[in-house]
């Protein structure tokens, strides 16, 4: 069997070959998400770029199918769902190739693309059937906030309210949230419904969420769709919020019809059923593999509260996998994710000898979370990577000593600098540690992509090996 | 039976009383759309305002339920679909009440609201059952472009392409479309699919549609969702366009898999099935009454091409009603619209003695269209109205003669003027007429709303009587 021509590829796809390919384990739907500003777009761009341009031993030494010279080629083909926006790989590459190079525009909402990877199977059943095989790889990009909404599927409004209130009443949220909380305290559960008041408070609550994300760099933001409402902007199911009075109410209470409480409960339920369940059924339950990207450096810069928030966000994400496996919905729409990778991005922003610390730190964030949830059966790994390397590592002399350093251009000013950005703690920092240490990791601009070279990276091949290796055997 | 209290109203709604109300003919879903810039927001705002504030003989003399003193009251209640954006009556009213008064922001996409109207039925079966009755009135606002897409449900890609090409090759579109057409002519139906090229041409085609609407003031714009893609922005089903080569192809051709033609056909079909059929099933098929607003003055200002475009758009709209009644889909999702009103808006922008001309002109536009389609069984009326009156009418003296005039503030400068804006033709103008006549109807700013007065209007009561009168008997 030869490598098929362009139109033959198309034909295979169109004739429902997908299903057959899935049966032969030759189809993977890989979901990419991140805790905001983690570099989803850079990751997908680099992943696609490596597969299209960089499949040689030099660039992907840890990717078996490449190392063993079984990789035959890769191309982008028509995506499976015409109503989902396409991931704009071309635009991202253009930004990285411009002078000076720029980080690609972040994506908003959901997007997808499909690659077809031709390879020679290793000796085994498959290789007996065919000389060459094709892996159809769908990459789906979605906002991390949607993932963090999934635990709402198992919650009632009052329970959710109390959980959010606890967040709102602790720093770093508390000082900004105080005046909103005061207003919301005036909502009496048994008052007749006042839609204008509920809408106004929901809009102010949404502004708070934006502030928490954009100014405080927090990740735990529910309901996530409030931040990206799209066509639901202004719809009543976005007009609810955590109710301060919830702390005085029994969970078993039945709200009186026509009251504020009843309206809030109805809207929470509508959000859960329409928005959260919709995402779960249409997308999440269809994913085969998931990578969650996290920037651990920015929360270290921002301090203990931001770092604890990242920890809690990772716990919630692991809960949502747990959710899928234990709940009622599961019987109808079992999630298929059988491999989960947490990756700390921007490893090029620290010196190489700190990478092991970064991995250890992320490992502890994930490990801590795993103890809170029943979570087994899914291979789950952690690693530190740089999707697109923005710095070069080396040594510089300081008072006769050789110290590790990185060199790059600062993202804000473009200024070329060489520095030792600091140490990364290799355990979860405790209060004492925070008192004695401050972090100031610098953001770097990308280096311009060379036309004849794939994008430089750190350990993207190892991420590929974990996420796809078994499908390319 | 007394007028129920707030919470009792809510209870009635929540207990699925809707269905019972529908059975007793006490529920109406009124759809409001318009050919762009026709004043949908002003119409809905004024309609709601009249029902909430203006239900007396002085303001609504032709609305039977008011004239006969059977109107008991009206209030806004929770809308039926929590995932659909709410119509922002409060914001619109605020704009109209500001100093200087402003027209409300136009709506984008779909929105809805629900009113409950309490009234005493006339003597008859219903009045025997109850002293008072409630009409639940849902008002749904949607872009006219979506209505103009409906005929695509019955079309194949090549037929649609030829129809659009004809438009693109005639003025006023031709001179702007020429360079795009030249590029699109290079698409060979049998070439292997090139997604980047298709996307780029589709994006340029979308820019053309925007130009036609915003600069030329045209209404016939397909596919309508290209102009308002929302969450589908960047999705492949928006990446098609009319194919110039369609003029050389037989309708019966089966496209070769993997070719440009096949991809375009697939996307057209995906658009039709996902977008157009989606709107039809979820919304259009649920409407009970439809009002189509049209601004006839702006096309008269713009000249014969714009006016012919309005005529063709009205034909297409009537076709879409016909479509619903004759096609296969009909058997599954019969549209229920049983009353259709075409209203020429901005009647306050001409002097009162010209109103009969405006109605006659609109009548001919609709009458001409009716001859092209089998269209019967739906009472269809035409009228001229002003949702929110922006001028006062009177007479001024000119060379000893008393001539009719209107007085108001110009929309662009705010300058107060008194003028005779010109005559409206009472038949469809022919070429000769266009050579001898030019129109320059002025746009007026709204007059500030007085707190204790409902919005002033022209014939809104007659529109209400036609659209709702039979439901309030």
CB B240, CB B268: distance < 8 Å: yes
DSSP state of A87: P
Same domain, A324 and A457: yes
Residue A225 lies in a domain: yes
Q: In which band, very low, low, confident or very high, does the pLDDT at B321 lie, cut at 50, 70 and 90?
A: confident
Asked if the C-beta of A412 comes within 8 angstroms of chain B's C-beta atoms, the answer is no
DSSP state of A83: T
pLDDT of amino acid B427: 87
Q: In which band, very low, low, confident or very high, does the pLDDT at B370 lie, cut at 50, 70 and 90?
A: low
Same domain, A186 and A214: yes
Query: Which pair of structure tokens corresponds to residue B328?
Result: 């296969």
Asked if the Cβ–Cβ distance from B83 to A7 is below 8 Å, we say no
Please tell me which of the candidates B7, B90, B263 has its beta carbon nearest to residue A258.
B7
Same domain, B316 and B461: yes
CA of A229 to nearest chain B CA: how many angstroms apart?
9
Q: In which band, very low, low, confident or very high, does the pLDDT at B6 lie, cut at 50, 70 and 90?
A: very low
Residue B339 lies in a domain: yes
Each residue of A371-420: pLDDT tens digit? 654 455 677 889 999 999 999 998 988 888 888 999 999 998 989 999 89
Asked if the Cβ–Cβ distance from A82 to B231 is below 8 Å, we say no
Please identify, among B227, B247, B280, the residue that sits at the C-terminal boundary of a domain.
B280
CA distance B45 to B89: 6
Residue B407 lies in a domain: no
Residue B351 lies in a domain: yes
Each residue of B228-283: pLDDT tens digit? 998 899 999 999 999 999 999 988 888 999 999 999 999 999 999 999 999 988 99
Query: Which of A85-89, B11-15, B64-68, B142-146 bottoms out in mean pLDDT, i.e. has the lowest?
Result: B11-15
A343 - beta bridge partners?
A293, A383
pLDDT of amino acid A31: 96
Each residue of B96-111: pLDDT tens digit? 999 889 999 988 889 9
pLDDT of amino acid B239: 97
Asked if the Cβ–Cβ distance from B193 to A84 is below 8 Å, we say no
Query: Which of A325-334, B79-88, B131-140 bottoms out in mean pLDDT, i.e. has the lowest?
Result: A325-334
Same domain, B236 and B180: yes
Which stretches of chain A drop beneath a pLDDT of 50? Answer: 1-6, 8, 11-23, 324, 328, 331-332, 373-374
Asked if the Cβ–Cβ distance from A7 to B234 is below 8 Å, we say no
CA of B15 to nearest chain A CA: how many angstroms apart?
10
CB A221, CB A163: distance < 8 Å: no
Which residue is closest to A87 within chain B, CA to CA? Answer: B234
Asked if the C-beta of B274 comes within 8 angstroms of chain A's C-beta atoms, the answer is yes
CB B202, CB B121: distance < 8 Å: no
Same domain, B188 and B307: no
pLDDT of amino acid B376: 56
Residues of A in contact with B191 (CB under 8 A): none
Asked if the Cβ–Cβ distance from A234 to B14 is below 8 Å, we say no
Please tell me which of the candidates A11, A86, A270 has its beta carbon nearest to residue B258.
A11
Which residue is closest to A267 within chain B, CA to CA? Answer: B82
Same domain, B370 and B460: yes
Does this model's pTM top 0.90? My answer is no
A 180-209: CB under 8 A from B? 192-193, 195-196, 199
Which residue is closest to B273 within chain A, CA to CA? Answer: A83
Asked if the Cβ–Cβ distance from A237 to B82 is below 8 Å, we say yes
Q: A328: helix, coil or strand?
A: helix
Q: A135: helix, coil or strand?
A: strand
Angle at B264 between CA B262 and CA B266, to 5 degrees: 70
Q: Which domain holds residue B365?
A: 8-142+283-391+449-472
Asked if the C-beta of B83 comes within 8 angstroms of chain A's C-beta atoms, the answer is yes
Same domain, B306 and B196: no
- Say how many domains are in chain B: 2
Checking if the pLDDT of B17 tops 50, the result is no
Query: Which pair of structure tokens corresponds to residue A13?
Result: 């796809």
CA distance A9 to B403: 75
ipTM exceeding cut-off 0.85 for this assembly: no
**pLDDT (average), residues B220-226:** 94
Same domain, B276 and B290: no
Please identify, among A280, A315, A344, the residue that sits at the C-terminal boundary of a domain.
A280
Same domain, A174 and A262: yes
Checking if the pLDDT of B69 tops 70, the result is yes
Same domain, A72 and A101: yes
Asked if the C-beta of A274 comes within 8 angstroms of chain B's C-beta atoms, the answer is yes
Q: In which band, very low, low, confident or very high, does the pLDDT at B24 lie, cut at 50, 70 and 90?
A: low
CB contact set of B432 (below 8 Å; sequence gap of 6+): none
Asked if the Cβ–Cβ distance from A6 to B234 is below 8 Å, we say no
Please identify, among B217, B250, B280, the residue that sits at the C-terminal boundary of a domain.
B280
The residue behind tokens 């309508």 is B224
pLDDT of amino acid A164: 96
Mean pLDDT taken over chain B: 86
Each residue of B274-300: pLDDT tens digit? 999 999 889 998 899 999 999 999 888
Please tell me which of the candidates B11, B199, B234 has its beta carbon nearest to residue A258.
B11
pLDDT of amino acid B35: 80
Please tell me which of the candidates A9, A88, A257 has its beta carbon nearest to residue B10.
A257
Asked if the Cβ–Cβ distance from B235 to A78 is below 8 Å, we say no
**pLDDT (average), residues B377-386:** 85
> Omega into A394 within 30° of 0, i.e. cis?
no
Query: Which pair of structure tokens corresponds to residue A7?
Result: 């139109």
Same domain, A67 and A174: no
**pLDDT (average), residues B22-32:** 76
Classify the phi-psi angles of A340: left when phi > 0, otherwise alpha if psi is within -120 to 50, otherwise beta.
beta
Please tell me which of the candidates B6, B76, B274 has its beta carbon nearest to residue A192.
B6
Same domain, A55 and A125: yes
Asked if the C-beta of A109 comes within 8 angstroms of chain B's C-beta atoms, the answer is yes
pLDDT of amino acid B128: 56
Residue B1 lies in a domain: no
CATH number for the domain that contains residue B343? 3.40.50
Residue B396 lies in a domain: no
pLDDT of amino acid B12: 46
**Which residue in B196, B199, B257, B264 has the most chain A C-beta atoms within 10 A of its own C-beta, making it the best mutation to test that interface?**
B257
CA distance A167 to A150: 18
CB A125, CB A26: distance < 8 Å: no
Asked if the Cβ–Cβ distance from A82 to B267 is below 8 Å, we say yes
Residue B368 lies in a domain: yes
Residue B102 lies in a domain: yes
Which residue is closest to A237 within chain B, CA to CA? Answer: B82
């Amino acid at each position: 069997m030869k490598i098929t021509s362009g139109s033959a590829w198309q034909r295979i796809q169109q004739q429902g070959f997908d299903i057959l390919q899935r049966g032969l384990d030759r189809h993977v739907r890989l979901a990419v998400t991140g805790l905001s500003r983690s570099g989803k777009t850079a990751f997908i761009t680099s992943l696609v770029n490596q597969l299209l341009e960089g499949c040689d031993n030099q660039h992907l030494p840890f990717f078996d199918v490449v190392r063993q010279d079984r990789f035959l080629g890769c191309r982008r083909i028509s995506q499976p769902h015409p109503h989902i926006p396409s991931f704009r790989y071309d635009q991202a590459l253009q930004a990285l190739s411009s002078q000076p190079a720029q980080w690609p525009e972040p994506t908003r909402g959901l997007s997808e693309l499909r690659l077809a990877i031709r390879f020679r199977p290793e000796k085994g059943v498959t290789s007996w059937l065919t000389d060459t095989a094709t892996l159809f790889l769908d990459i789906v990009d979605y906002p991390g906030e949607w993932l963090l909404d999934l635990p709402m599927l198992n919650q009632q409004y009052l329970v959710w309210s109390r959980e959010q209130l606890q967040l709102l009443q602790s720093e770093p949220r508390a000082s900004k949230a105080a005046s909103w909380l005061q207003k919301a305290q005036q909502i009496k559960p048994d008052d007749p419904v006042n839609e204008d008041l509920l809408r106004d408070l929901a809009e102010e609550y949404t502004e708070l969420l934006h502030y928490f994300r954009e100014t405080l760099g927090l990740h735990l933001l529910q309901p996530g769709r409030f931040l990206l409402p799209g066509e639901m902007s202004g719809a009543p199911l976005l007009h609810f919020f955590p109710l301060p009075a919830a702390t005085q109410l029994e969970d078993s209470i039945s709200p009186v019809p026509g009251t504020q409480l009843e309206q809030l409960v109805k809207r929470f339920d509508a959000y859960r059923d329409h928005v959260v369940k919709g995402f779960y059924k249409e997308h999440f339950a269809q994913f085969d593999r998931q990578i969650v990207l996290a920037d651990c450096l920015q929360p270290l810069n921002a301090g203990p509260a931001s770092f604890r928030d990242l920890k809690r966000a990772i716990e919630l994400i692991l809960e949502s996998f747990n959710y899928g496996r234990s709940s009622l919905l599961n019987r109808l729409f079992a999630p298929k994710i059988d491999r989960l990778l947490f990756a700390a991005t921007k490893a090029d922003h620290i010196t190489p000898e700190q990478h092991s610390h970064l991995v250890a730190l992320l490992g502890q964030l994930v490990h801590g979370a795993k103890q809170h949830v029943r979570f087994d059966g899914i291979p789950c790994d952690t690693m530190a990577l740089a999707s697109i390397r923005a710095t070069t590592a080396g040594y510089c002399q300081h008072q006769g000593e050789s110290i590790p350093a990185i060199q790059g251009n600062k993202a804000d000013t473009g200024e070329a600098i060489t520095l030792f950005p600091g140490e990364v703690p290799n355990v979860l920092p405790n209060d004492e540690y925070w008192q004695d240490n401050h972090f100031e990791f610098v953001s770097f601009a990308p280096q311009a992509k060379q036309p004849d070279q794939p994008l430089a990276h750190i350990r993207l091949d190892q991420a590929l090996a974990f996420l796809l290796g078994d499908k390319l055997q």
